[in-house]
Amino acid sequence: MTVPTALVTSAVAAGSRYGFEIMEATGLPSGTVYPVLRRLERGGFLVSTWEDPAVALADGRPRRRMYKLTGQAAPLISAAAGKLMSLRGFAGPGLVSPEAG
Amino acid sequence: MLVDPGPVDLNDSDASVRISFAIVALAARMVPIADRRGWHAEWHAELLAHNAMLRSRRSRNTWTWLRLIWHALGSFSDAWQLSAHGFGPANLVRDLGLACRSLAKRPGFLATAVITLALGIGANTALFSVVRGVLLRPFPYEDPERLVQLLGHREGETPGSGNVSYPNLHDFDQVSATLTGVVGMAGWRPALTGDQPQVLPGATVSWDYFHVLGVRAAAGRFFEAEEEGEGRVRAVVISHGVWTRQFAQDRDLIGRQINVDNESYTLLGVAPEGFEGPHLISFEGEQPVIWRTPWFEATDTFRSGRSWKGLARLAPGVGIEQAQTEVSVIMGRLIEQYPEENTDRQVTLSPLRDSVVSDSRSALLLLLGAVVLVLLVACVNVANLLLGRMLERQDELLVRGALGAGRGHLLTLLFAEGLAIAAIGGALGVLLAYASVGALVGIAGMWLPRPEGVGVDGTVLAFSLALTLGTSVVFGLLPALRVTRDTRLSAVSGVRMAGARSALGAGLRRTLVLVQVAASVVLVIGAGLLLRSFWNLQRVDLGVGSQGVMTVTMHGASWWDLEPEAATVGYRELLDRITALPMVNAAGAIDVVPLADNHSCDGFIPIDRPPPGPGEGECAEVRSLTPGALEALGVHLLSGRTIDWSDRSDAAGAMVLSREAAQHFWPDQEALGKAALVHSDTFSVVGVVADIRHFGPAEAATPLVFLSAQQEPWNGITRGLTLVMSGPPAIERAGQEIARAIQDVKPAAALEAIRPMRTLLANTTGGSRFRAALLLAFAGLALLLALVGIVGVISQSVTRRQRELGIRIALGAAPGRAVRAVLGEGVRITLAGLAIGLLASLAMTRLLQSFMFGVSPLDPTILAGGCVLVFGLAVLASWLPARRAGRIDPVQALRGE
């Protein structure tokens, strides 16, 4: 597992839902985050849905696409946490242990 | 599953948002159609949300402005990832597998495309291997670009043989500061004597020859300064090949004595493996393999004896112009010092590479241009074939597009087929080149310098690989781009335009065929001109017979040590023995056989004229021969007599002149009975013979003087002469009998290849034959491929117009009219191609001018003949498929729709 995949997985597990939100949480550029999301989605670890139109309308903006980990992602989440732990001195903002996901 | 989010409202006037949207819109083109709307909406929403967030966080500044654009640029990576669903190395491998399986189901199509391409790539690879071996391969010396040849010539004339005298070379070496080493070399043809005498190509070279070239001995050492000049110990250096073949690489032999020309020489050392002489001396294409040093003092020898090739190395930091200036100054001093020998002479420096390859460079580059044209025609054919096939697959592509395959995916899919064909064609082409390179070098004969380096090596393989990939892009990607463009349109509109679809690409295919016809016309006309030149060369009267004439040179027969009288007896005995053979009509011996490249210039002064001043002396090619030689060579006697055995050393000097020599030295006078000084001896003209083109059919007849070998000032009779004998054509197969007859009389003689005069003639016309044969092959190939292209286009046209023609026939049109309608299309394409090709030919045949002999680049017969040939064959190629139009059954045609 690559570090960006671990970061994205952990960020979504920690509750980030939108693409740009995940970018903020991981500090990765959009050109890295989106390809990882597409791969996870193709692998069945992630599903995407469009947000409620009423919410978007209330905020006066177009609907955003939301990402959520599936049940299949449990081993991936622990692998991601392991990968990140192994990086000495790493402590990313907003990242939690796999149990919290 | 994605839900369509509906249109996005874009009312934000912020410039960074607008730029970001434009970037995303561009990236979206890579995303498969099925995913595109959702993808677009997601990026818009995210960019807007992000923009709002940035705006709420801090005041707008350049940083936030750039940040948004930076995020938008990430959409390319995302889009690439999505399109890479079908466009990327991994998918290309998968698509290649798919392409191979689908091609295997169409063996006819596959074979046509692969063979076409293999011929194109094979021809290009083969010719490139020649260009690489001859023109591009570096000389195996230290810093070879600093080596220059010293070309001697008359003031104001271009250098011919470029020969210089050894004393002049020695003076350049002593005086010049811009040249670090000046060496001379002259041909030497010794025999390694022993149990099995063997004649070797060799050279007499200055002692520092190998030092100037900058090579190291593989064993032993090279010459030292004291090993040159009078009284020097006889020593030789041999090539690695001779060391291996003759001496089994025995290191113990280094420093020992070996027998060369019945004399004892010290074997000093061995040249490195793969050593290649500078190609200034060659024996019918063979490079020297044994070297010795001059046995005379450079200062003591004739300054007028110009029989040496000069080679030098430029001093460090010195340019050739600077060295040339100094050489001219030194030559000026040499003229003052030795006016008799040097007046009117000049020495020009030329880079070694130019000296060696100048003759072949332009011809090879021209042929390379021609062969690229063949590849173009081949590519066009394969592109046409692939286009047809892609159009057949339109339905499949439409379905793939509708199911979400992006254009990238479809392109990869179609490109994979092109790549698969190119890979197989390229591999076959390399095999073809590998098999044909030997034949190419053989056709060129002596004309091609440095033939030993011609072959399919790593560089050539890399060239073929690049060619294969390049061609696959040309013929695979271009039609694919054309087809997928229309697929996308059809998919979006959801309409299947049957008529429009089958017409799709027809225009492109016609244009491609037009290009083929034009290229073929250019090549056919070029080949016609070169073929005509070669034909003209073959028909030139050389003044000697080339059929039924055999030549053989003898070495090691100890003539050198014999007295002239004894040698004469020996030759008479030998010639009598040979003449007694049943198939021999005449036999004699001569020092230099016509057509063997050997320039000499011997002083010739008619005694009825005042002695010439310095530099005004005239010279002629002087030949030394025995009775029977001119008869055996088939030279026509015009007046007087030829040399006979009575022209002994104690008789009055007799000479026979060629007509050119007689007219040159005694214009408007009867030359018979006139006398001249040849190297200070007096000779009278006893006969005049017809002219001989000594240097080949393309060269003018030179003034030739024939002396009796018994009377010739240098005791020609005691040297090894070349035997010539004539008879019926069957004599050319009687080499064994001739060899036996010679060895009966002279058992110790080493015989050089016994060969017909025809071989020598073939060598002199090697360049012309090489150019004509190759261009003819290329033209034939291009024409064949173009005809295949025409057949394909007309077949497609008949299929496409089936309905229209069916209706016309149903309405009462005669089938012949339908055939003519289709044929007309072929004729129109051909005529347009002919017009373009003819114009291109008029411009391009000028490039051939220097290779032409006895024919004008605008020769109307060849221009018209080429056009008629291409037109006739093209109409025939159109007619074959057009016949089908006349057999269309209207009912079937309309039912099909």
**Residue B91 tokens, joined:** 């998918």
To 5 degrees, how large is the angle CA B267–CA B269–CA B271?
A: 130
B275, B215 Cβ separation under 8 angstroms = yes
Could you give the CA distance from residue A23 to residue A16 in angstroms, rounded to a whole number? 9
B801-836 pLDDT, tens digit each: 878 888 888 888 888 888 888 888 889 999 999 999
* C-beta neighbour count of B575 within 10 angstroms: 24
Kindly determine whether residue B77 and residue A62, on different chains, have CB atoms separated by under 8 Å.
Answer: no
So what's the pLDDT on residue A96? 41
B764, B595 Cβ separation under 8 angstroms = yes
Tell whether A41 is within 8 A of chain B (Cβ): no
What values do phi and psi take at B665, rounded to 5? -85, -30
The SS3 assignment for B23 reads: helix
Long-range contacts of B314-317 (CB under 8 A, 24+ apart): B314/B146, B314/B147, B314/B148, B314/B178, B314/B179, B314/B180, B315/B177, B315/B178, B315/B179, B315/B180, B316/B180
Task: Classify residue B262 as left (phi > 0), alpha (psi -120 to 50) or beta.
Answer: left
Helices (H) and strands (E) in chain B, counts: 27, 25
Q: How far is CA B663 from CA B477, B658, B690, B698, in A?
A: 68, 9, 11, 21
Which residues have CB under 8 Å from A55's CB, separation 6+? none
Could you give the CA distance from residue B204 to residue B290 in angstroms, rounded to a whole number? 9
Question: Which of A41, A52, A64, A67 best tests the B interface by mutation, with the highest count of B CBs <10 A?
Answer: A64
Which residues have CB under 8 Å from B6's CB, separation 6+? B41
Q: How far is CA B329 from CA B181, B326, B334, B787, in A?
A: 17, 5, 9, 63
So what's the pLDDT on residue B393? 77
Out of B41, B73, B78, the one facing A62 most closely (by C-beta) is B41
Tell whether A14 is within 8 A of chain B (Cβ): no
Could you give the CA distance from residue B701 to residue B432 in angstroms, rounded to a whole number? 42
Kindly determine whether residue B78 and residue A30, on different chains, have CB atoms separated by under 8 Å.
Answer: yes
Out of A35, A48, A64, the one facing B46 most closely (by C-beta) is A64
B667, B620 Cβ separation under 8 angstroms = no
Sort out which chain A residues have CB atoms less than 8 A from B46's CB and list them. 18-20, 64-65
Kindly determine whether residue B5 and residue A34, on different chains, have CB atoms separated by under 8 Å.
Answer: no
* Chain A residue whose CA is closest to B52: A61
B377, B520 Cβ separation under 8 angstroms = yes
Which residues have CB under 8 Å from B42's CB, separation 6+? A19, A64, A65
Nearest to B279 by CA among B448, B433, B164, B407: B448
Tell whether A18 is within 8 A of chain B (Cβ): yes
B219 sits in which H/E element: strand B219-220
Where are the strands (E) in B231-305, listed by range?
235-238, 257-260, 263-270, 290-292
Kindly determine whether residue A33 and residue B9, on different chains, have CB atoms separated by under 8 Å.
Answer: no
Could you give the CA distance from residue B99 to residue B113 in angstroms, rounded to a whole number? 14
So what's the pLDDT on residue B556? 57
What values do phi and psi take at B32, rounded to 5? -55, 140
Could you give the CA distance from residue B375 to residue B853 in angstroms, rounded to a whole number? 28
B291, B209 Cβ separation under 8 angstroms = yes
DSSP symbol at B749: P
**Residue B393 tokens, joined:** 């697959």
So what's the pLDDT on residue A41? 87
Sort out which chain A residues have CB atoms less than 8 A from B38's CB and list them. 65
Kindly determine whether residue B78 and residue A34, on different chains, have CB atoms separated by under 8 Å.
Answer: yes
* C-beta neighbour count of B816 within 10 angstroms: 11
So what's the pLDDT on residue B853? 87
Question: Which of A21, A26, A34 best tests the B interface by mutation, with the highest count of B CBs <10 A?
Answer: A34
Kindly determine whether residue B49 and residue A61, on different chains, have CB atoms separated by under 8 Å.
Answer: yes
B342, B199 Cβ separation under 8 angstroms = no
Tell whether A61 is within 8 A of chain B (Cβ): yes
* Chain B residue whose CA is closest to A62: B45
**Residue B795 tokens, joined:** 């077949």
Could you give the CA distance from residue B848 to residue B771 in angstroms, rounded to a whole number? 10
How many Cα atoms sit within 13 Å of B672 on the Cβ side?
10
Q: Per this entry, what is the length of chain B? A: 897
DSSP 3-state helix, strand, coil percentages of chain B (rounded to 5)?
55, 15, 30
B65-108 pLDDT, tens digit each: 788 888 899 888 888 777 755 444 556 677 788 888 888 888 88
Kindly determine whether residue A61 and residue B75, on different chains, have CB atoms separated by under 8 Å.
Answer: no
Sort out which chain A residues have CB atoms less than 8 A from B71's CB and list them. 20, 23, 29-30
Kindly determine whether residue B41 and residue A35, on different chains, have CB atoms separated by under 8 Å.
Answer: no
Tell whether A17 is within 8 A of chain B (Cβ): no
B698, B537 Cβ separation under 8 angstroms = yes
So what's the pLDDT on residue B240? 93
* Chain A residue whose CA is closest to B79: A35
Kindly determine whether residue B45 and residue A62, on different chains, have CB atoms separated by under 8 Å.
Answer: yes
* Chain A residue whose CA is closest to B2: A49
* Chain A residue whose CA is closest to B81: A35
So what's the pLDDT on residue B866? 93
Tell whether A30 is within 8 A of chain B (Cβ): yes
Could you give the CA distance from residue B818 to residue B537 in angstroms, rounded to a whole number? 50
* C-beta neighbour count of B472 within 10 angstroms: 24
For chain B, residues with pLDDT lower than 70 are 1-13, 57-61, 84-92, 160, 194-196, 304, 402-406, 485-505, 555-562, 597-601, 613-617, 713-719, 753, 895-897
So what's the pLDDT on residue B558? 53
So what's the pLDDT on residue B182? 93
Cα A44 to the center of its chain, rounded Å: 14
Where are the strands (E) in A1-101, listed by range?
46-50, 65-69
pLDDT above 50 (res A99): no
Identify the band that residue A89 occupies on the pLDDT scale cut at 50, 70 and 90. low
Kindly determine whether residue B49 and residue A64, on different chains, have CB atoms separated by under 8 Å.
Answer: yes
Q: How far is CA B128 from CA B134, B366, B434, B844, B882, in A?
A: 10, 12, 11, 21, 40
A85, A101 Cβ separation under 8 angstroms = no
Q: How far is A64 from chain B (nearest CA, A)?
A: 5
B127, B774 Cβ separation under 8 angstroms = yes
Kindly determine whether residue B74 and residue A30, on different chains, have CB atoms separated by under 8 Å.
Answer: yes
CATH number of A3-86: 1.10.10.10
Question: Which of B9, B42, B48 best tests the A interface by mutation, with the highest count of A CBs <10 A?
Answer: B42
Tell whether A2 is within 8 A of chain B (Cβ): no
Sort out which chain A residues have CB atoms less than 8 A from B77's CB and list them. 30-32, 34-35
Kindly determine whether residue A38 and residue B78, on different chains, have CB atoms separated by under 8 Å.
Answer: yes
A68, A49 Cβ separation under 8 angstroms = yes
Question: Which of B78, B83, B87 best tests the A interface by mutation, with the highest count of A CBs <10 A?
Answer: B78
